[in-house]
Amino acid sequence: MEAKTNYTMVGLAVVLLSAALIAGGLWLSVGFDQKKYTIYAVYMHEAVSGLSEDSAVKYNGVQVGSVLKIELSHIDPQLVKILLNIEDGTPVTTSTTATLISQGITGTTYVGLSTSSSDLTPLQKLPQEPYPIIPSKPSLFNQLDSVLKEVSENVNSVSLELKQVFDQENILNLKKSLANLQKFTDVIASNSKNIDQSLKNTDTLLKNIAKVSDELPEAMRELKNSAHKMGTMATNISQAGVSVTAAMDAGKITIDKISQQAIPPAVTLLRRLDTIAANLEKVSTQMRQNPSVVIRGNTPPAPGPGE
């Protein structure tokens, strides 16, 4: 009876342990998570090396899902189609973008989600697509690769241009220029004393200019005062001119009055004097011809007998 009881306990323990193992396997494989997920699609324009199914999907560094499937696009073989299993309630909006992010050079790769605005308009699927499509952005390594390619192309272009610039003829011209430069430096070295003296003279000239510039405000003030005095003088001259003009106008009026009052009598007097002078000349002629006219006058003598 005791042996049967022990077998029963052992059998019960085996059954309980098996049930626990089965429950643990189910929990590890399926889990008891009751979260709901939504599938989104992403089309990558670059290689997805390092990314695998069940890789993490993080939104601003917070894990919100996992990679469900990776496959080549049936529309464009240059694109890689990635299906993302993202938790419901994750703010996947119209401004959300997906990027491949590598944790270090040899670390794992995951899909990083980010948004560029605070707009919460949810992303909707297109009519011809089974899932909403999240736009993709190039990863950091892809950007670096593009920049390095561009830099390499620019370096090659510059090297070709340098080869064209530094041809044999230009190299000879450059040698001649260097030789002329050497001659120029030799001339400068041989005339260093003169150059030093010129620099000293220049320094003296600059000092004099500085001194003149210091005296310039005073000269400007004096010039300003002189200009003010000249202005006052010009005003006085203008006033004097006005006075002279007035005096000339008054003199003109006086002269006109004098001419109107004195000239007519003077003309009459001159006419009379002219008549008197004519008479005197006539008398003088008669006296020369006949002096007795002074005694007898102009009356002819009485006729004599027989006349």
Sign of the Cα pseudo-torsion (169, 175, 181, 183, in order): negative
> Are 101 and 113 within 8 A, CB to CB?
no
Q: Give the end-to-end CA distance of the chain in Å, rounded to a whole number.
A: 240
> Are 81 and 73 within 8 A, CB to CB?
yes
In this predicted structure, the answer to whether residue 18 has a pLDDT above a threshold of 80 is yes
Locate all alpha helices (DSSP H) within the chain, ordered by sequence: 2-29, 140-165, 168-190, 192-289, 293-296
Confidence of residue 147 (pLDDT cuts 50, 70, 90): confident
Beta bridge partners of 37: 87
Residue-wise DSSP of 54-102: T-EEEETTEEEEEEEEEEE-SS-TT-EEEEEEEETT---BTTEEEEEEE
Q: Around Cβ 137, how many Cβ atoms within 10 Å?
A: 16
Q: How high is the mean pLDDT of the chain?
A: 78
Confidence of residue 42 (pLDDT cuts 50, 70, 90): very high
At 160-173, the pLDDT tens digits run: 777 777 667 777 87
CA angle 90, 92, 98 (to 5 degrees): 115
In a domain, 91, yes or no: yes
In a domain, 180, yes or no: no
In a domain, 57, yes or no: yes
> Are 58 and 102 within 8 A, CB to CB?
no
In a domain, 41, yes or no: yes
List CB contacts of 298: < 8 A, sequence separation 6 or more: 286
Q: Around Cβ 280, how many Cβ atoms within 10 Å?
A: 10
At 78-133, the pLDDT tens digits run: 899 999 999 988 999 999 999 998 876 666 889 999 998 888 888 888 888 899 99
Encoding tokens for residue 32?
A: 């008891």
Residue type, 193: K
- Sheet containing 56-59, strands listed edge to edge, beginning at the edge strand earlier in sequence: 96-102, 109-115, 56-59, 62-72, 80-87, 37-44, 133-134
In a domain, 95, yes or no: yes
At 176-232, the pLDDT tens digits run: 888 888 888 888 888 877 787 788 888 787 887 777 677 667 767 777 777 777 777
Enclosing H/E stretch for 110:
strand 109-115
In a domain, 94, yes or no: yes
In a domain, 284, yes or no: no
**Domain region containing 132:** 37-138
- Cα separation of 166 and 212, whole Å? 52
Encoding tokens for residue 253?
A: 């009026």
Enclosing H/E stretch for 291:
none
In this predicted structure, the answer to whether residue 33 has a pLDDT above a threshold of 70 is no
Q: How many separate domains does the chain show?
A: 1
Residue-level pLDDT at 214: 73
> Are 70 and 85 within 8 A, CB to CB?
no
In a domain, 111, yes or no: yes
